[in-house]
Chains A and B, each alone.
Chain A
Amino acid sequence: MTRKLAVVTAGVGTPSSTRLLADRLVAAVQSQVGARGEDVRVDVIEVRELAAALATMTTAAGLPVPEVTRAQDIVRAADGVIAVTPVFAGSYAGMFKMFWDTFSPDDLSGMPVLIGATAGTPRHSLVLDHAMRPLFTYYRTIVVPTGVFAATEEFGGGAGGDQLNRRIVRAAQELAGLMVSTATGVEGFVPAGPRRTNGSSLPDPTSITPFTRLLAGHDGS
């Protein structure tokens, strides 16, 4: 079965080192999922291309702008997400946050996420654990233990470059493991786990709570 990998990258330049890191993570996840006997379909969302649409959506009472809804549908339908941002002023890029602000936890519950960040110096590396990890915890995602931080100098050779490679492989292994895992247990015997609305922002008549259940306990009797 082909697994779907959504990549959200919030670099502002073209080319951007954030995208460079994203591409390396994608390649590593592809080979790790491949090693587990599955194919990967990769969809890359460049948040930069959605900047104006996100501003429109945010300032117009959540009006669903088509470019954004397409990107949201890709993320919702994914089996795993790679989320990478540059570090600005000690945190993730504002545009990166604007994109995630358009989601609700119900969209992302239980989603495996690999977080990555880039910056000019290694001194910003705590952004992974102090800014990005709490953000994705809010969405009830499963953030893999290894986050990948890449300082500019680590794109070169030397000890830093080697360590970056190792982090990329370890993080990719962790994400791939979650992406190919299947639910265990016999249906009905264990409580249902978090369930995402699969791939659509629109109401799904098959998943609606029937009104008699909504009314239960509220009919005055």
Chain B
Amino acid sequence: MQFGVFSIGDVTTDPTTGRTPTEGERIRAMMTIAEHAEQLGLDVFATGEHHNPPFVPSSPTTMLGYIAGRTKNIILSTATTLITTNDPVKIAEDYAMLQHLAEGRVDLMMGRGNTGPVYPWFGKDIRKGIELAIENYHLLRKLWREPVVDWKGEFRTPLRGYTSTPAPLDDTPPFVWHGSIRSPEIAEQAAFYGDGFFHNNIFWDAAHVGQMVDFYRQRFEHYGHGSADQAIVGLGGQVFMRKNSQDAVKEFRPYFDNAPVYGHGPSLEEFTSMTPLTVGSPEQVIEKYLTYADVAGDYQRQLFLMDHAGLPLKTVLEQMDLLATEVVPVLRAEFDARRPAHVPSDPPTHASLVAAGPEGKHHLVQSATLPEDRNETETAKESA
């Protein structure tokens, strides 16, 4: 199983000191966090993509390319890549380039974004959010899988005889996740292609998370990618720890109360009872996160949001130390112990996709086996 950190890259005033980091300081802090994750043996670093203040990561492959050059093992990912407003041709180029530079340590997560004006800023219509996600991703799949692409869709200028360069490393496109909180169409999309489904549940309750993930699992099986429990699932999380849980609550409360999105709203106690946010001892974090394998089934990737709400870099790094040394080893062992043998422990990686060979389903643009195709095959078998 993979454990890692994801950052939304918010520039937020530290409410305990009143100090706001500069954009430059925040960007460098994100780089330090990524390198620290590598040093601690965490599996994944993922960055968000935002095109408005107070967020800095507008150019994810520039950041991830820098990290790729300074690390050896960690997988670089996104949370999320805006499949709606980015040109899929540029995504194909940028992430194939990153894949080469990172020697395959790349996957990415598609998302629709949560800031309405980004659509008109990039010349898109927010009312077409789902259609954009569907069409653009299908084009992206073609660009990474067909040497020469002819394309005519609704949203971008047509392509005639277009070849995306560089081709993916080892002619093997990166693994893709689809992130969504409440849109069944996106879970359906992930299931159709046999891609991963990431539920960023940091603002969501366990019952709803379970239901969305279960829906994706059923549809994954429906489209012939394996049994429902073999579907590739990732979850978000958020924690703040100190040895003594009262210390954790006391230290984190001002950051919580003033945080972007949920600050000045629910109380810390309400929020921790309803969402994955856990503020307490490492043991409490372990106890809470172990329940997510019951909520979502045995899953493959757990990302934690650690550097949010104006927490100083020093604190974030301490938090990551606790996560990597006290929490992750226990979660890893416990999750491994309960996972049945036929359920993959890890999501597909570049190495596993290359090993599956060029005939693997990953290389098909349209990788689903439709139920009607199955019926035809079964009928053919019966008549043979």
Contacts and interface: CB of A to CB of B under 8 A. Distances in A.
Interface in B120-152: 130-131, 134-135, 138-139, 142, 150-152
Contacts of B153: 218-220
B258 interface: no
A209 B205 CA distance: 25
Most B CB within 10 A of own CB, among A64, A215, A217, A220: A220
Nearest to B158: A220
A220 B145 CA distance: 14
Contacts of A61: 203, 261-262
Nearest to B152: A220
Interface in A177-221: 201-203, 205, 208-212, 214-215, 217-221
Interface stretch (A31-39, A52-60, A130-138, A157-165): A52-60
B262 A214 contact: no
Contact of A203 (B154, B215, B270, B274): B215
Contacts of B192: 211, 215
Contact of A63 (B218, B219, B275, B366): B275
Contact of B266 (A60, A64, A214, A218): A60
A65 interface: yes
Contacts of A156: none
A15 interface: no
Nearest to B274: A63
A127 to B, nearest CB: 29
Contacts of A220: 135, 138-139, 142, 150-153
Interface in A11-49: none
Contacts of A212: 370
B264 A59 contact: yes
B291 to A, nearest CB: 17
B189 interface: yes
B360 interface: no
A180 B182 CA distance: 33
B212 interface: yes
Contact of B138 (A62, A64, A218): A218
Nearest to A58: B265
B368 interface: yes
A63 B154 CA distance: 34
A201 B183 CA distance: 11
A27 to B, nearest CB: 35
A215 B134 contact: yes
Interface string A48-80: 000000011011111111100000000000000
A64 B265 contact: no
B205 A211 contact: no
A130 to B, nearest CB: 28
B211 interface: yes
B185 interface: yes
A218 B134 contact: yes
Contacts of A221: 152
B210 to A, nearest CB: 9
A40 B20 CA distance: 59
Q: Which of A64, A65, A211 has the most CB of B within 10 A?
A: A211
A102 to B, nearest CB: 13
Given A209-B185, A211-B368, A56 B152 contact: no
B271 interface: yes
A60 B272 CA distance: 12
Given A63-B262, A66-B274, A202-B208, 10 more contacts: A60-B271, A63-B203, A63-B271, A202-B212, A203-B187, A205-B215, A220-B150, A220-B151, A220-B152, A221-B152
Interface of B: 130-131, 134-135, 138-139, 142, 150-154, 182, 184-185, 187-189, 191-192, 203-205, 208, 211-212, 215, 218-219, 223, 261-262, 264-266, 270-271, 274-275, 366, 368, 370
20 contacts: A56-B266, A59-B264, A60-B261, A60-B271, A61-B203, A63-B266, A64-B204, A66-B274, A205-B218, A208-B184, A209-B188, A211-B192, A214-B130, A214-B189, A218-B134, A218-B135, A218-B154, A219-B135, A220-B153, A221-B152
